[in-house]
Amino acid sequence: MKLILIGRGRMGTLIRETALAAGDEVLAAFDVDDIDRLAEFNEKADVVIDFSNPASLPSVGAFVRRTGTPLVSGTTGMSAEQKAQLEALGAYTPVLWSANYSLGVAVLYRALRVVSDVLKPDFDIEVTETHHNQKVDAPSGTAKLLVDAIDPEGALTPVYGREGVTGKREKKEIGVHALRGGTVAGTHTVHFFGPDEELEFTHRAASRQIFVNGALHMAHLLPGKPNGVYDLQKILFGE
């Protein structure tokens, strides 16, 4: 495949190295410091892979609208308005966004969708996420993804950490807590605290390579699909 990469950070570098080793061709790589050059790029690509910064979205969006190139995005930290702008690109091409391209996280998301409604009436739910000390946004996009799996209707009120005299925990709360340190690639745990019992779901990433492999796998599957917005659930499970 012929790829355009957006982002030359750790993920972008790993994606480039892995793609080249697999025989894919990287036509160009851009980042926020030179993303304006994308407006002048005319070589035809099979897919754009964006693991950069929300600030790159206007340029990436303009390129996708101009060329109709399928877009695989793993950019996190977007506002609701930016996320809507990304999804609007589905009118021009197939667009796949995920906060986490791990197969294990995709399965965890599906499992939470199945069990959460059974547990929510009697269990308190807390989500903790741990990442390396260089991560700039919190909570992680994956934590937000898991909260969405647990509470797709938004009936629970997120509480991002607690401090001081907060009063007793409300039943309609869902705690979301971010830890930062070292070189942790990503650990996410969903805690269900019930009367006299506790259930935990934990996913641990040993390295960023699992996200790279997943993103490249999806990049091979996306071209040729009808225009629209996709996520891993739609691709893997047909939802």
131 included as an active-site residue: yes
Q: Which residue has the tokens 């909260």?
A: 147
Give me the residues paired with residue 176 across strands.
127
Check whether the bond before 139 is cis (ω within 30° of 0).
yes
- Determine which one of 132, 135, 191, 225 is catalytic: 135
- Determine which one of 131, 177, 188, 203 is catalytic: 131
Contact 215, 72 (CB under 8 A): yes
Distance CA 116, CA 81 (A): 28
Distance CA 173, CA 156 (A): 5
Contact 236, 101 (CB under 8 A): no
Residues annotated as catalytic are 131, 135
